[in-house]
Amino acid sequence: MDGFPKRKESPHDVFETGHSSTSLSAAAGMAIARDIKNEHFHVVPIIGDGALTGGMALEALNHIGDMEKK
């Protein structure tokens, strides 16, 4: 089992990435797509403490904080 999301490995891995602090940005995109499609479910990203120092995670926190979504 790979340590990072691999689409060929699991139907639950919806995108591929490496160690780059992408979970918050991906979750924001999934929430936006969910709302455009008028679907109703929660999006829950998982991020480790080390990944919170990544620039992508910090930018995503700024974006998510400005969104009016759950």
pTM over 0.85: no
In whole angstroms, give the CA distance from residue 47 to residue 20.
11
Q: In angstroms, what CA-CA distances link 28 with 14, 58, 69, 70? A: 14, 13, 9, 9
Helix axis angle for 55-66 and 23-36, nearest 10°, is 30
In whole angstroms, give the CA distance from residue 29 to residue 36.
11
pLDDT of 33 reads: 95
pLDDT digits (tens, 9 = 90+) for 19-69: 778 889 999 999 999 999 999 999 999 888 888 888 889 999 999 999 876
Place 10 in a pLDDT band, splitting at 50, 70 and 90: confident
